[in-house]
A = this chain, B = another copy of it.
Protein backbone atom coordinates (compact mmCIF):
# COMPACT_ATOMS: atom_id res chain seq x y z
CA UNK A 1 0.00 0.00 0.00
CA UNK A 2 1.04 3.62 -0.05
CA UNK A 3 0.81 6.23 2.67
CA UNK A 4 1.64 9.92 2.92
CA UNK A 5 4.19 11.07 5.48
CA UNK A 6 6.35 14.08 6.28
CA UNK A 7 9.95 13.85 7.46
CA UNK A 8 10.72 16.50 10.08
CA UNK A 9 13.89 17.02 12.08
CA UNK A 10 13.24 17.97 15.68
CA UNK A 11 16.50 18.95 17.39
CA UNK A 12 18.83 15.97 16.91
CA UNK A 13 16.18 13.44 15.83
CA UNK A 14 14.48 12.70 12.50
CA UNK A 15 10.82 11.65 12.68
CA UNK A 16 8.40 10.59 9.96
CA UNK A 17 5.02 12.11 10.82
CA UNK A 18 1.77 10.57 9.61
CA UNK A 19 -1.63 12.21 9.65
CA UNK A 20 -4.12 10.24 11.75
CA UNK A 21 -6.59 10.33 8.84
CA UNK A 22 -4.09 8.55 6.54
CA UNK A 23 -3.24 5.49 8.66
CA UNK A 24 -5.19 2.53 10.07
CA UNK A 25 -6.76 3.11 13.49
CA UNK A 26 -6.38 -0.49 14.61
CA UNK A 27 -3.07 -0.72 16.47
CA UNK A 28 -1.90 -4.02 14.99
CA UNK A 29 -2.52 -2.86 11.43
CA UNK A 30 -0.81 0.45 12.16
CA UNK A 31 2.21 -1.41 13.55
CA UNK A 32 2.38 -3.60 10.45
CA UNK A 33 2.31 -0.46 8.29
CA UNK A 34 5.14 1.23 10.22
CA UNK A 35 7.26 -1.94 10.26
CA UNK A 36 6.89 -2.25 6.48
CA UNK A 37 7.41 1.46 5.79
CA UNK A 38 10.62 1.54 7.85
CA UNK A 39 12.01 -1.81 6.66
CA UNK A 40 12.26 -2.59 10.38
CA UNK A 41 12.99 -6.31 9.98
CA UNK A 42 16.38 -5.50 8.45
CA UNK A 43 19.08 -4.26 10.82
CA UNK A 44 20.08 -1.64 8.23
CA UNK A 45 16.42 -0.77 7.41
CA UNK A 46 17.61 -0.99 3.81
CA UNK A 47 14.12 -1.65 2.38
CA UNK A 48 12.35 1.34 3.91
CA UNK A 49 12.54 4.93 5.06
CA UNK A 50 14.05 4.21 8.49
CA UNK A 51 17.51 5.48 9.32
CA UNK A 52 18.63 2.40 11.30
CA UNK A 53 19.60 4.37 14.43
CA UNK A 54 17.56 5.08 17.56
CA UNK A 55 17.28 8.80 16.67
CA UNK A 56 16.26 8.13 13.06
CA UNK A 57 13.79 5.28 13.57
CA UNK A 58 11.06 7.36 15.18
CA UNK A 59 7.53 7.98 13.94
CA UNK A 60 4.43 9.78 15.12
CA UNK A 61 0.76 9.78 14.16
CA UNK A 62 -0.73 13.25 14.50
CA UNK A 63 -4.37 14.33 14.48
CA UNK A 64 -6.74 17.00 15.76
CA UNK A 65 -7.71 16.56 19.40
CA UNK A 66 -11.26 16.50 20.79
CA UNK A 67 -10.00 17.57 24.20
CA UNK A 68 -10.66 21.09 25.43
CA UNK A 69 -7.09 21.47 26.63
CA UNK A 70 -5.33 20.25 23.47
CA UNK A 71 -5.18 21.06 19.76
CA UNK A 72 -3.34 17.91 18.76
CA UNK A 73 -3.38 14.27 19.85
CA UNK A 74 -0.35 12.22 18.93
CA UNK A 75 1.05 8.72 19.19
CA UNK A 76 4.82 8.36 19.35
CA UNK A 77 6.44 5.18 18.02
CA UNK A 78 9.99 3.95 18.40
CA UNK A 79 10.23 1.58 15.43
CA UNK A 80 12.37 -1.56 15.72
CA UNK A 81 15.76 -1.86 14.04
CA UNK A 82 16.37 -5.43 12.90
CA UNK A 83 13.23 -6.60 14.66
CA UNK A 84 9.49 -6.46 14.05
CA UNK A 85 8.59 -4.39 17.11
CA UNK A 86 7.06 -0.99 17.76
CA UNK A 87 7.33 0.64 21.19
CA UNK A 88 4.52 3.11 22.02
CA UNK A 89 5.10 3.83 25.73
CA UNK A 90 7.87 6.41 25.60
CA UNK A 91 7.82 10.06 24.57
CA UNK A 92 10.40 12.11 22.67
CA UNK A 93 10.86 15.83 23.22
CA UNK A 94 12.66 16.18 19.90
CA UNK A 95 9.73 14.63 18.03
CA UNK A 96 7.30 16.78 20.00
CA UNK A 97 8.98 19.90 18.58
CA UNK A 98 8.79 18.32 15.11
CA UNK A 99 5.07 17.67 15.64
CA UNK A 100 4.44 21.27 16.69
CA UNK A 101 6.09 22.59 13.53
CA UNK A 102 4.21 20.02 11.41
CA UNK A 103 0.88 21.02 12.98
CA UNK A 104 1.42 24.65 12.02
CA UNK A 105 2.88 23.87 8.58
CA UNK A 106 0.00 21.55 7.67
CA UNK A 107 -2.67 23.93 8.98
CA UNK A 108 -3.84 21.64 11.80
CA UNK A 109 -3.37 24.65 14.08
CA UNK A 110 -3.95 28.16 12.70
CA UNK A 111 -1.11 30.64 12.93
CA UNK A 112 -1.67 33.12 15.77
CA UNK A 113 0.69 36.08 15.88
CA UNK A 114 4.46 35.93 16.05
CA UNK A 115 4.45 32.75 18.13
CA UNK A 116 1.85 30.04 17.62
CA UNK A 117 1.08 27.77 20.54
CA UNK A 118 0.38 24.12 19.71
CA UNK A 119 -1.23 22.33 22.66
CA UNK A 120 -0.26 18.67 22.36
CA UNK A 121 -1.61 15.59 24.07
CA UNK A 122 0.61 12.49 23.98
CA UNK A 123 -1.74 9.51 23.85
CA UNK A 124 0.98 7.07 24.94
CA UNK A 125 1.53 8.57 28.40
CA UNK A 126 -1.29 11.11 28.71
CA UNK A 127 1.28 13.92 28.95
CA UNK A 128 0.31 17.44 27.93
CA UNK A 129 3.00 19.64 26.47
CA UNK A 130 3.01 22.76 24.35
CA UNK A 131 5.06 23.67 21.32
CA UNK A 132 5.66 27.39 20.78
CA UNK A 133 6.41 27.76 17.07
CA UNK A 134 7.99 30.95 15.77
CA UNK A 135 5.57 32.37 13.17
CA UNK A 136 7.02 35.83 12.67
CA UNK A 137 4.60 38.25 11.05
CA UNK A 138 1.90 35.61 11.32
CA UNK A 139 3.44 33.55 8.50
CA UNK A 140 4.11 29.83 8.39
CA UNK A 141 7.90 29.52 8.56
CA UNK A 142 9.80 27.72 5.81
CA UNK A 143 13.16 28.05 7.47
CA UNK A 144 14.76 29.48 10.57
CA UNK A 145 18.16 30.00 12.07
CA UNK A 146 17.84 28.44 15.51
CA UNK A 147 20.22 25.62 16.50
CA UNK A 148 20.39 23.05 19.29
CA UNK A 149 23.46 21.46 20.88
CA UNK A 150 24.44 18.34 18.95
CA UNK A 151 24.14 19.61 15.39
CA UNK A 152 25.02 22.77 13.48
CA UNK A 153 21.90 22.44 11.33
CA UNK A 154 19.53 25.38 11.53
CA UNK A 155 15.79 25.26 11.97
CA UNK A 156 12.65 27.12 12.94
CA UNK A 157 12.69 28.13 16.63
CA UNK A 158 10.26 25.92 18.53
CA UNK A 159 9.94 26.18 22.29
CA UNK A 160 8.92 23.02 24.09
CA UNK A 161 6.94 24.01 27.09
CA UNK A 162 6.06 22.23 30.32
CA UNK A 163 3.10 23.53 32.33
CA UNK A 164 2.71 22.96 36.05
CA UNK A 165 5.74 20.71 36.15
CA UNK A 166 6.33 21.26 39.87
CA UNK A 167 5.95 18.31 42.20
CA UNK A 168 4.54 15.99 39.56
CA UNK A 169 6.30 12.92 40.96
CA UNK A 170 6.56 13.58 44.69
CA UNK A 171 3.75 16.08 45.27
CA UNK A 172 5.95 19.03 46.14
CA UNK A 173 8.60 21.20 44.53
CA UNK A 174 11.07 20.58 47.36
CA UNK A 175 10.25 17.06 48.55
CA UNK A 176 12.54 17.22 51.61
CA UNK A 177 10.96 20.48 52.76
CA UNK A 178 14.14 22.52 52.42
CA UNK A 179 15.79 24.21 49.47
CA UNK A 180 19.39 23.35 50.25
CA UNK A 181 20.97 20.87 52.63
CA UNK A 182 23.85 18.54 53.40
CA UNK A 183 23.18 14.99 52.17
CA UNK A 184 25.11 12.01 53.53
CA UNK A 185 26.29 10.13 50.40
CA UNK A 186 28.79 7.30 50.71
CA UNK A 187 31.28 8.43 53.35
CA UNK A 188 30.79 12.18 53.08
CA UNK A 189 28.35 15.04 53.35
CA UNK A 190 27.55 16.70 50.03
CA UNK A 191 25.83 20.07 49.62
CA UNK A 192 22.74 19.59 47.43
CA UNK A 193 19.38 20.92 46.33
CA UNK A 194 16.67 18.32 45.76
CA UNK A 195 13.85 19.54 43.54
CA UNK A 196 10.90 17.97 41.70
CA UNK A 197 10.22 20.04 38.56
CA UNK A 198 9.92 18.27 35.20
CA UNK A 199 11.53 15.31 36.93
CA UNK A 200 12.97 14.68 40.40
CA UNK A 201 16.52 16.07 40.47
CA UNK A 202 19.39 16.17 42.93
CA UNK A 203 21.98 18.84 42.17
CA UNK A 204 25.30 19.03 43.98
CA UNK A 205 27.63 22.02 44.16
CA UNK A 206 30.69 21.27 42.03
CA UNK A 207 33.15 23.34 44.09
CA UNK A 208 33.13 21.36 47.39
CA UNK A 209 33.69 18.18 45.31
CA UNK A 210 36.84 19.72 43.79
CA UNK A 211 35.09 20.25 40.44
CA UNK A 212 33.83 23.19 38.37
CA UNK A 213 31.01 21.58 36.29
CA UNK A 214 32.88 22.72 33.17
CA UNK A 215 34.72 19.38 32.91
CA UNK A 216 34.64 17.39 29.69
CA UNK A 217 32.85 14.06 29.65
CA UNK A 218 36.29 12.42 29.88
CA UNK A 219 37.47 14.51 32.81
CA UNK A 220 34.36 13.67 34.79
CA UNK A 221 34.70 9.92 34.36
CA UNK A 222 36.71 9.34 37.59
CA UNK A 223 34.02 11.15 39.63
CA UNK A 224 30.99 9.19 38.46
CA UNK A 225 31.04 6.93 41.56
CA UNK A 226 30.54 9.95 43.85
CA UNK A 227 27.54 11.12 41.84
CA UNK A 228 26.01 7.65 41.79
CA UNK A 229 26.30 7.65 45.62
CA UNK A 230 24.57 11.04 45.75
CA UNK A 231 21.76 9.75 43.53
CA UNK A 232 21.23 6.68 45.69
CA UNK A 233 21.07 8.73 48.90
CA UNK A 234 18.79 11.39 47.37
CA UNK A 235 16.30 8.76 46.22
CA UNK A 236 15.71 7.85 49.85
CA UNK A 237 15.68 11.45 51.07
CA UNK A 238 13.13 12.45 48.38
CA UNK A 239 10.86 9.51 49.19
CA UNK A 240 11.44 7.85 45.83
CA UNK A 241 12.53 4.58 47.44
CA UNK A 242 12.62 3.08 50.93
CA UNK A 243 16.08 2.44 52.43
CA UNK A 244 15.51 -1.32 52.20
CA UNK A 245 14.55 -1.23 48.50
CA UNK A 246 17.15 -1.87 45.80
CA UNK A 247 18.86 1.16 44.25
CA UNK A 248 17.37 2.36 40.95
CA UNK A 249 19.57 4.34 38.63
CA UNK A 250 17.03 6.28 36.57
CA UNK A 251 15.62 8.49 39.39
CA UNK A 252 16.32 11.06 40.58
CA UNK A 253 18.41 12.68 37.89
CA UNK A 254 21.76 13.72 39.35
CA UNK A 255 24.21 16.43 38.35
CA UNK A 256 26.68 19.06 39.48
CA UNK A 257 26.38 22.80 39.02
CA UNK A 258 28.79 25.70 39.08
CA UNK A 259 28.89 29.44 38.43
CA UNK A 260 29.22 30.87 34.90
CA UNK A 261 32.73 30.34 33.51
CA UNK A 262 34.57 30.20 30.19
CA UNK A 263 34.72 26.60 28.96
CA UNK A 264 34.89 24.38 25.92
CA UNK A 265 32.20 22.05 24.60
CA UNK A 266 33.08 18.41 23.99
CA UNK A 267 33.53 19.15 20.28
CA UNK A 268 35.98 21.95 21.07
CA UNK A 269 33.90 25.10 20.67
CA UNK A 270 34.66 27.92 23.12
CA UNK A 271 31.79 29.14 25.30
CA UNK A 272 32.33 32.44 27.11
CA UNK A 273 31.35 33.07 30.71
CA UNK A 274 29.00 35.84 29.55
CA UNK A 275 27.02 33.40 27.36
CA UNK A 276 25.85 31.14 30.20
CA UNK A 277 24.05 31.74 33.49
CA UNK A 278 25.36 28.57 35.12
CA UNK A 279 27.25 25.45 34.09
CA UNK A 280 25.95 21.92 34.64
CA UNK A 281 27.00 18.33 34.07
CA UNK A 282 24.27 15.67 34.41
CA UNK A 283 24.49 11.90 34.58
CA UNK A 284 22.46 9.60 32.34
CA UNK A 285 22.41 6.27 34.18
CA UNK A 286 26.16 5.53 34.51
CA UNK A 287 27.57 8.04 32.03
CA UNK A 288 27.84 11.78 31.69
CA UNK A 289 24.93 13.06 29.57
CA UNK A 290 26.38 14.59 26.35
CA UNK A 291 24.01 17.60 26.71
CA UNK A 292 21.13 17.60 29.20
CA UNK A 293 17.73 15.92 29.15
CA UNK A 294 14.74 18.16 28.46
CA UNK A 295 13.08 17.46 31.82
CA UNK A 296 16.37 17.99 33.64
CA UNK A 297 16.65 21.38 31.93
CA UNK A 298 13.20 22.23 33.29
CA UNK A 299 14.30 21.38 36.84
CA UNK A 300 17.60 23.23 36.55
CA UNK A 301 15.97 26.44 35.35
CA UNK A 302 13.29 26.23 38.02
CA UNK A 303 15.91 25.73 40.73
CA UNK A 304 17.99 28.62 39.35
CA UNK A 305 15.04 31.00 39.69
CA UNK A 306 13.86 29.82 43.11
CA UNK A 307 15.57 31.81 45.87
CA UNK A 308 17.48 29.89 48.52
CA UNK A 309 18.55 26.94 46.38
CA UNK A 310 22.13 25.93 45.81
CA UNK A 311 21.51 26.39 42.09
CA UNK A 312 20.38 30.01 42.45
CA UNK A 313 23.41 30.58 44.71
CA UNK A 314 25.86 29.63 41.94
CA UNK A 315 23.82 31.05 39.01
CA UNK A 316 24.39 34.52 37.59
CA UNK A 317 22.64 37.00 39.89
CA UNK A 318 19.59 38.93 38.73
CA UNK A 319 18.13 36.32 36.35
CA UNK A 320 14.81 37.41 34.90
CA UNK A 321 13.01 34.37 33.56
CA UNK A 322 15.67 33.19 31.10
CA UNK A 323 18.33 30.68 32.14
CA UNK A 324 21.19 29.68 29.81
CA UNK A 325 22.63 26.33 30.82
CA UNK A 326 26.23 25.54 29.86
CA UNK A 327 26.32 21.81 29.00
CA UNK A 328 29.02 19.56 27.49
CA UNK A 329 27.21 19.85 24.13
CA UNK A 330 26.63 23.62 24.17
CA UNK A 331 24.23 26.18 25.61
CA UNK A 332 20.60 25.21 26.29
CA UNK A 333 18.27 28.15 26.88
CA UNK A 334 15.23 27.77 29.13
CA UNK A 335 12.51 30.35 29.67
CA UNK A 336 10.33 30.39 32.78
CA UNK A 337 7.15 32.42 32.89
CA UNK A 338 3.94 32.58 34.87
CA UNK A 339 0.41 33.11 33.63
CA UNK A 340 -2.15 35.24 35.47
CA UNK A 341 -3.32 32.27 37.53
CA UNK A 342 0.13 31.58 38.94
CA UNK A 343 0.79 28.56 36.71
CA UNK A 344 4.48 28.24 35.97
CA UNK A 345 5.44 27.43 32.37
CA UNK A 346 8.98 26.30 31.60
CA UNK A 347 10.06 26.38 27.96
CA UNK A 348 13.18 24.80 26.49
CA UNK A 349 14.31 26.44 23.25
CA UNK A 350 14.63 23.96 20.39
CA UNK A 351 14.69 23.99 16.58
CA UNK A 352 12.88 21.95 13.91
CA UNK A 353 12.86 21.73 10.11
CA UNK A 354 10.58 20.05 7.58
CA UNK A 355 12.90 17.88 5.44
CA UNK A 356 10.52 16.18 3.00
CA UNK A 357 6.93 15.34 2.10
CA UNK A 358 6.58 11.85 0.72
CA UNK A 359 4.37 9.04 -0.44
CA UNK A 360 5.84 5.87 1.05
CA UNK A 361 5.23 2.54 -0.69
CA UNK A 362 5.25 -0.54 1.51
CA UNK A 363 5.61 -4.17 0.47
CA UNK A 364 2.44 -6.19 0.86
CA UNK A 365 1.59 -6.13 4.60
CA UNK A 366 1.84 -9.46 6.42
Q: How far is the CB of A34 from chain B (nearest CB, A)?
A: 14
Q: Can you report 22 residue pairs joining A to B where beta carbons are below 8 Å apart?
A: A7-B49, A12-B46, A39-B355, A41-B153, A44-B56, A46-B56, A46-B151, A48-B355, A51-B52, A52-B53, A52-B56, A143-B364, A153-B363, A353-B361, A353-B363, A355-B360, A356-B358, A356-B359, A356-B361, A357-B358, A357-B361, A358-B358
Interface residue A263 (Cβ < 8 Å from any Cβ of B): no
> Besides the contacts A355-B360, A355-B361, what 16 more A-B pairs have beta carbons closer than 8 Å?
A9-B46, A39-B153, A39-B355, A44-B53, A44-B151, A46-B55, A46-B151, A46-B153, A47-B153, A47-B155, A47-B353, A52-B56, A154-B363, A356-B358, A356-B360, A356-B361
Which residue in chain B gives the minimum CB-CB distance to A361? B354
User: How many chain A residues have a CB neighbour from B under 8 Å?
Assistant: 36
Which residue in chain B gives the minimum CB-CB distance to A144? B363
Q: Which residues of B contact A364 (CB under 8 A)?
A: 143
Asked if B355 contacts A143 (CB within 8 A), the reply is: no
> A13, A39, A354, A361: which has the most chain B beta carbons within 10 Å?
A361
Which chain A residues (1-60) contact chain B, with CB distance < 8 Å? 7, 9, 12-14, 39, 41-42, 44, 46-49, 51-53, 55-56
The 0/1 profile, CB within 8 Å of B marked 1, for residues 272-299 of chain A is: 0000000000000000000000000000
Asked if A14 contacts B46 (CB within 8 A), the reply is: yes
Asked if B47 contacts A363 (CB within 8 A), the reply is: no
- Interchain CB contact (< 8 A) of A41 among B48, B152, B155: B152
Asked if B363 contacts A151 (CB within 8 A), the reply is: no
> Bound complex: CA of A52 vs CA of B54, how far in Å?
13
> Bound complex: CA of A114 vs CA of B5, how far in Å?
33
- Interchain CB contact (< 8 A) of A49 among B47, B153, B355: B355
Q: Which residues of B contact A55 (CB under 8 A)?
A: 44, 46
Q: Which residues of B contact A152 (CB under 8 A)?
A: 41-42
Given that A44-B55, A143-B364, A364-B143 are contacting pairs, would A356 and B153 also be in contact in the complex, using a CB cutoff of 8 Å?
Answer: no
Which residue in chain B gives the minimum CB-CB distance to A94? B46
The 0/1 profile, CB within 8 Å of B marked 1, for residues 342-365 of chain A is: 000000000001111111110110
- Interchain CB contact (< 8 A) of A42 among B13, B41, B51, B153: B153
Q: Which residues of B contact A361 (CB under 8 A)?
A: 142, 353-357
Q: Which residues of B contact A357 (CB under 8 A)?
A: 358-359, 361
Q: How far is the CB of A353 from chain B (nearest CB, A)?
A: 6
The list of the 6 closest CB pairs from A to B, nearest first, reads A47-B153, A358-B358, A356-B358, A356-B360, A357-B359, A46-B151
Q: Which residues of B contact A356 (CB under 8 A)?
A: 49, 358-361
Q: Which residues of B contact A39 (CB under 8 A)?
A: 153, 355
Q: Which residues of B contact A14 (CB under 8 A)?
A: 46
Which residue in chain B gives the minimum CB-CB distance to A351? B47
Q: How far is the CB of A126 from chain B (nearest CB, A)?
A: 29
Q: Which residues of B contact A56 (CB under 8 A)?
A: 44, 46, 52
